[in-house]
């Protein structure tokens, strides 16, 4: 029995999902040095598009691919905009990955009750959030005559894009999607490779109160 369960644990799962969707914009405000002087506040906005849910030959991983326009600009009257203004439009492309980690699956997670296999899996979690630097670029950047150089303008826009991609993925149900796909694929795999099994029951442990995120998603 242990040998059979050990063989089952080593199976690798492949998820295949495709989809399209459109999401709206977001705004944050960041009061910088000029803002403290009363000149204006920098605002960042983004319009985000979920391009597709890509199939990955990895550890039960679901990837959401996003793209979006991130506009960073300092709000001020037209005359001051000409002198102190700054505006950047960033085309951002990134990915959010979530999955069910099976690396720590043990024989205790699998029980055979008659012809039914009962499997308990950990809940799905975000695995990575990343900007695709090969496809992300500054489409437009304008600065006023006396505007100070803003070294953080580009990095702030990238961090903002990642946050929007992450939030949209969570709101779109990427964690539930990963669990549903894991359940489907594992069930099909177990039934196909174990003729003696007639039924597969898969449950997930209860996730923690707060969503666990890797550093790349914070």
Domain enclosing residue 194, as ranges = 2-217
Confidence of residue 37 (pLDDT cuts 50, 70, 90): very low
Calpha distance 156→187 (Å, rounded): 43
Q: In the chain, how many domains are there? A: 1
Please write the tens of the pLDDT for every residue from 120-142. Answer: 988 999 999 999 999 999 999 88
Judge whether residue 199 has pLDDT over 90. yes
Confidence of residue 31 (pLDDT cuts 50, 70, 90): very low
CA of residue 99 relative to chain centroid, distance: 10
- In the DSSP assignment, the letter for residue 59 is S
Contact status, residue 52 vs residue 38, Cβ threshold 8 Å: no
Geometric angle at alpha carbon 24, from 19 and 25, rounded to 5° = 135
β-strand partners of 110: 119
**Whole-model pTM?**
0.72
Instruction: Tell me how far apart the alpha carbons of residues 80 and 166 are, in angstroms, rounded to a whole number.
Output: 35
The vertex-162 CA angle with 84 and 61, nearest 5°, equals: 170
pLDDT in tens, 57-70: 345 578 999 999 99
């Amino acid at each position: 029995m242990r040998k059979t369960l050990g063989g089952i644990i080593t199976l690798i799962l492949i998820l295949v999902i495709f989809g399209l969707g459109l999401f709206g914009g977001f705004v944050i405000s960041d009061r910088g040095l000029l803002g403290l002087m009363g000149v204006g506040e920098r605002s960042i906005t983004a319009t985000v598009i979920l391009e597709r849910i890509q199939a990955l030959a990895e550890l039960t991983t679901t990837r959401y691919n996003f793209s979006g326009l991130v506009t960073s600009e300092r709000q001020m009257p037209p005359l001051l905009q000409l002198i102190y203004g700054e505006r950047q439009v960033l085309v951002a492309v990134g990915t959010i990955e979530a999955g069910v980690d099976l690396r720590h699956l043990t024989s205790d997670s699998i029980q055979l009750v008659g012809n039914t296999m009962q499997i308990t899996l950990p809940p799905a979690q975000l695995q990575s959030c990343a900007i695709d630097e090969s496809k992300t670029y500054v489409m437009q950047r304008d600065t006023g005559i006396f505007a100070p150089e803003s070294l953080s303008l580009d990095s702030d826009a990238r961090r903002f894009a990642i946050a929007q991609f992450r939030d949209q993925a969570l709101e779109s149900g990427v964690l539930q999607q990963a669990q549903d796909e894991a359940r489907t694929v594992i069930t099909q795999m177990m039934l196909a490779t174990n003729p003696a099994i007639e039924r597969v029951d898969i449950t997930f442990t209860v996730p923690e109160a707060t969503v666990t995120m890797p550093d790349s998603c914070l």
